[in-house]
Amino acid sequence: MPKEQSPESRPREERQEELVERASDILAQAQTEAKMRPTTDSEGKKSIPTSLEIGKQMDQELNRLRAELFPEIEGTDWQKLKDEIGEKLLAKTAEKIDA
């Protein structure tokens, strides 16, 4: 049985594309959930914690993806990678939301 490749052995560009694809799924789902949740609680007050919860969950999922696809990247290098893929990620997420 072939041994599974380590993420680092795959080309960086390939891993970036997979990161964009999978992260855009997470972001599109989070934005859709945020739109579907009520903006006020039962007393009519703005319900901001739900948006914060979605944001925290999204960050956790993105960090999990980063650890899976780019285990060699942490901290400021992770921020640089997010900057590199930012535009692609926003475009892909918008595509999925509009679909």
Task: Tell me the domain boundaries of the chain.
Answer: 13-37+44-98
- The answer to whether 46 touches 39, Cβ cutoff 8 Å, is yes
Q: In Å, how far from its chain's centre is CA 26? A: 5
- Taking alpha carbons only, the member of 72, 55, 56 closest to residue 15 is 72
- Quote the tokens at residue 18: 């997979």
pLDDT digits (tens, 9 = 90+) for 14-68: 999 999 999 999 888 888 877 776 667 677 776 665 667 777 888 888 889 999 9
- Give the model confidence (pLDDT) of 1-24 as tens digits: 445 678 888 898 999 999 999 999
pTM: 0.71
**40 beta partners:** 46
Cα 8 from Cα 40, distance rounded (Å): 45
